[in-house]
Amino acid sequence: RRLAKDWERSLESSTAWTLIASIRLMTRRLARYCYVT
């Protein structure tokens, strides 16, 4: 039971991290685009 809970938490955090990473990448790309123009 505890293992499942930990796995659930890790899965949740991993999805959160991918979301954060994608947001950071998008903002960086947007910033670069705004800087160039």
Query: So what's the pLDDT on residue 28?
Result: 94
Q: How confident is the model at residue 35 (pLDDT cuts 50, 70, 90)?
A: confident
Name every residue whose Cβ is closer than 8 Å to that of residue 16 and which is 6 or more positions away in sequence: none
Query: So what's the pLDDT on residue 25?
Result: 96
* Domain boundary assignment for the chain: 1-37
Question: How many helical (H) and strand (E) elements, i.e. helices and strands, does the chain have?
Answer: 1, 0
Query: So what's the pLDDT on residue 9?
Result: 80
Q: pLDDT by residue (tens digit) across 10-26? A: 888 889 999 999 999 99
Give the Å distances, CA to CA, from 1 to 12, 20, 22.
Answer: 17, 29, 32
Q: What is the distance between the alpha carbons of residues 22 and 37, in angstroms, rounded to a whole number? A: 23
Residue type, position 23, single letter: I
Of 21 and 37, the one with more pLDDT: 21
